[in-house]
Amino acid sequence: MNIKVGLVGLPNVGKSSLFNALTKSSVPAENYPFCTIDPHVAITHVPDDRIEKLQKTYDSKKQIPATVSFVDIAGLVKGAAAGQGLGNQFLSNIQEVNLVLHVLRCFEDDNVIREQGAINPLEDFETIVNELMLKDLESLQKRQTKIQAQLKKHSISTQEKKDLEAEQILLGKIAQFIDNLDVANIRQAVLESSVPTIPLLSSKNFMVIANVSEEDIDNPEQNKFVQQIIEKFGKDRVIPVCVKTELELSQLDDAEKQEMMDMLGLQKPMLETVIEKSYQNLGLITFFTCGPQEIHAWPIKQGTSIKSAAGEIHSDLERGFICAEVFNYNDLQDTPFAKLKEIGKIRTEGKDYVTQDGDIVLVRFNV
């Protein structure tokens, strides 16, 4: 499953530094606008303590963790939808991601250039979202023109006409929300609608990275800008991070990293929280296939049937699916692996079984 998370923000808010820290990459991160000219993509592992324990249980040769792709998208500016700054190409890059991480600057520093004046993360967020909505309006207008042309065709069926008219109504509502700069209702309208339509940038799921200074690491929620962001979006959607510190941690070996975290009072790098929450926000869970060769973690959408989950491993497993032997990682906490079958913990499940987080699966198939 290809999962993409896009880092979005105004120039010089810390996106490229965050990207480098998340992915241990070396994207340029300079103190001037538009350092990132192409969207950089890198893959990082989803932290999961269960993999190491499973490897010991099965005496496996290697681990293959679940992964997330992070995309570093160049800094947007006011007028991007009309081609300002680096323009439309970057708005189209956002279209390809599953989740948007808005990186907002929440620290004062005269040494880091800011062309927008005084620090105002909520205003920065609105600038970005307004550009997304303007781009969506352009897309809506093109789609509405196409629908009108399709409705005039003599060959159109009754059902096609009904579907197109319903989509027309939905697009009209969304256009009104865009006129009112009402991004919350755009997303709600798309989520609640049973009518498929064009993908919209402003309807994408999002989280907020509040980039704080080193002085705020101990208690980031005391930062007045972080407080404003949490009040606006809710605590679950906001992750305060000192990007500068996380970048430094990402460049250290394990012993040095632990020493620095102990000094800062951190139990784990905040970047792990960013990756984990991105994964959770997308409604993803992990199931495992285990054996002497490898422990493989597979990300799937919550609610996926075991037959469809088998298809993530290989299309032949879904096509020729017979059944699956299943038990859960949690079963291993109370019972030795050798005893699981004896006490009935290893079950045989049919194609409609809904895969659970932590399930360990052996698929039986015939092609």
CA 76/CA 58 separation, integer angstroms: 48
pLDDT at 61 exceeding the cut of 60? yes
Give pLDDT tens digits for 109-158: 776 666 667 889 999 999 888 888 888 898 899 999 999 999 999 889 99
Q: How confident is the model at residue 11 (pLDDT cuts 50, 70, 90)?
A: confident
Instruction: Give the strands of the sheet with 284-290, arranged side by side.
Output: 62-64, 294-301, 284-290, 359-365, 321-328, 347-349
**Coil, strand or helix: which one is 245?**
helix
Per-residue tokens: 75: 């800094």
Is residue 235 classed exposed, middle or buried when 0-12, 13-18 and 19+ CB atoms within 10 A define those classes? exposed
State mean pLDDT over 43-51. 90
CB 363 within 8 A of CB 324: yes
For residue 203, the one-letter residue type is S
The DSSP output letter for 115 is T
Query: Measured on CA atoms in the order 179, 181, 185, 189, is the torsion positive or negative?
Result: positive
Q: How confident is the model at residue 30 (pLDDT cuts 50, 70, 90)?
A: very low
pLDDT at 91: 65
Q: How confident is the model at residue 41 (pLDDT cuts 50, 70, 90)?
A: confident
pLDDT at 2: 81
Considering the domain delimited by 303-365, tell me its CATH architecture. Answer: Roll (3.10)
pLDDT at 321: 97
The angle formed by the CA atoms of residues 154, 159 and 164, to the nearest 5 degrees, is 75
